[in-house]
Structures are given as C-alpha cells and as structure tokens.
A = this chain, B = another copy of it.
Amino acid sequence: MSDKQDQRPSNNLAEQVMARLSADIRGGRLAPGARLPTEQALTAELGVSRTVVREAVAALRADGLVVTRRGSGAYVADPAAGPFRIAASTDTTLDDILSVMELRRAVEVEAAALAAERASRRQVAAMRTAWRSIDAALKRGEGAVAEDFTFHRTIAEATGNDQFPRFLAYLGGHVIPRQSVRLSVDTPAERRAYLERIQHEHARIVSAISDGDVVEARRAMREHLTRSLERYRALAGGKNTHSGGSSHGRR
C-alpha cells in the first residue's frame, strides 16, 4: 500500500506498457520465476508494436525486475528486488525531506561509530583536510555545501564498508540540494553564527573518531544531525512533532 507512483498519462507508450508489466510483477500477478507473455502476445493484447514492447522489457530489465533469455522468453527475476529509490518527483514536501533526513541520521550516526572503531590515520587526516576546506569556504563567505558533503563522505568511507558512502551519496542527491533554501532565510549574521557552530560540531566528531571513542562519536554525530533536523522541522511550521503527520494519542 501507499506506493506513491507518478501516475501521469505519460504520452510515451513504452512507459505505459512498462508501468503495466511492473504493476503485474509487484502486484504478484506475475510470480517470481514465471515467464512473461511473449512479445507477440503482448503486441496483440496491448495493441502496440513490438518496438514498444521491447523497449518496455528493456526498461524492466534495467530495473532488475526481469531477465530475458534469448530463444526462451522473459522471466520475472527471483527476489523481485527492484532498486531502492526515493520519490524525488516534483511534489516533494517538507515532510518527505524530513523522512529522508531521519534515514540519513540513522546511517551517519552508525557510520561515525564504525569510523571511530576502524578509521586509519590516513582517513582521519582526510577528515581534518575536509574540515579545513569547509573553514576556508566559510572564510570566503560561501555556504560550503559541497565541502560539507565531502566531510561527511570521508567519515562514511572510514567505516571500511563501501555501502555507507554509497548510500550516503545516494541520499545526498535528495537532501543536499535543498539546503540552500534553509540558508537563504537567515540574516548574514545568523547564518554565520550557525555555520560556525556547525564547524564546532564537526570538530567534536573528528576528535571522537580520532580518539577511537565510539560512544562519543555516535553522540556527537547524532547531536549534529538532530540539530539539522530540528531546524528543518521548525521551517515546516512546527505543527508536526514528527514526519508521520497524523496524531495518535498514546500514554
């Protein structure tokens, strides 16, 4: 339930066919391992040319939903495991961004802890270099969003687990671009104070990681990202205590 698809008419026939087949697969009407109708059958059933059907199947194959075997047919992929993606359409609300930021916080807090356990001297040095880059950008009066992202990436890389930087990079594309909005609402003085506090938080994170202090690294990163979240939440109007929306009285 609640898949939130882009359900526009899509003047593209191939996309319509793809949406149809994709729904059949995710809806369970086509079980994993089952064979799709032949291209000929689909052209007849849907009233489109084979070109369109083939492009639709190519798209499904790119999403990992089906595999094709020449001479045999197209089959639903085993774990029906399409890629993970975040809506990222035009109707992204502030609540959507908060949801993604919470997910990001979960990953980065743990990344800081793992980095404190595992970071090499060289990786810690990379963090300090990234920190100084932010400082330099701030002194130039810039927002330093790219430098900030690089800083967080160096921590993710220090986990020794490639999934962390990869996932962070993915999330970054969905959160970072809007940070300019956040910064633009303040006066220059407020903004400068804010950015300096951020840098101080960054420094504490690096210190903890450098010391191998897992607990403190986690705490510092959590505080850093939680403040970022709170700031966003305030922007949302303060009426939501969390991204869920609907209230539910417990206790």
Q: Which of A183-216 contact B (CB under 8 A)?
A: 212
**A244 within 8 Å of B (CB atoms):** yes
Copies in the complex: 2
A99 CB, min distance to chain B CBs, angstroms = 5
Is A127 an interface residue when CB atoms closer than 8 A count as contact?
no
How far, in angstroms, from A167 to B103 measured CA to CA in the complex?
Answer: 9
User: Which B residues touch A170, using CB under 8 A?
Assistant: 81, 83-84
As a 0/1 sequence over residues 22 to 56 of chain A, the CB contacts with chain B under 8 angstroms (1 = contact) are 00000000000000000000000000000100111
Which residues of chain B have C-beta atoms less than 8 A from A12's C-beta? Answer: 68
Most buried by B among A14, A61, A105: A61
Contact A106 B99 (CB under 8 A): no
Known: A59-B58, A59-B61, A59-B62. A161 touches B250 (CB 8 A): no
A250 x B121 contact (CB < 8 A): yes
A242 within 8 A of B: yes
Contact B103 A243 (CB under 8 A): no
Q: In this assembly, does A85 line the interface, its C-beta being within 8 Å of a C-beta of chain B?
A: yes
The complex places the Cα of A246 from the Cα of B122 at a distance, in Å, of: 14
Q: Chain B residues near A64 (CB, 8 Å)?
A: 85, 88
Min distance, Cβ A15 to any Cβ of chain B, angstroms: 8
Q: Which residue of B lies closest to A170 (CB)?
A: B84
Q: Which stretch of A108-116, A130-138, A139-147, A231-239 is in the interface?
A: A108-116
Q: Which one of B81, B85, B88, B109 contacts A173 once the chains associate, using CB atoms below 8 Å? A: B81
Cβ–Cβ < 8 Å partners of A63 in chain B = 62-63, 83
Determine if B84 and A243 form an interchain contact, defined as CB atoms under 8 angstroms apart: no
- The answer to whether the Cβ of A86 comes within 8 Å of any Cβ in the partner chain is yes
| Choice from B60, B106, B109, B251 contacting A212 with Cβ under 8 Å | B251
A–B complex contacts, Cβ < 8 Å, 10 sampled: A18-B62, A51-B51, A54-B55, A80-B173, A102-B163, A103-B163, A106-B109, A118-B242, A120-B248, A161-B242
> 8 tightest A-B contacts by CB?
A160-B244, A106-B110, A83-B83, A59-B62, A81-B173, A55-B58, A120-B248, A84-B170
Q: Given contacts A80-B173, A84-B85, A106-B111, could you give 4 more A-B pairs where the C-beta distance is less than 8 Å?
A: A54-B55, A59-B59, A62-B62, A79-B88
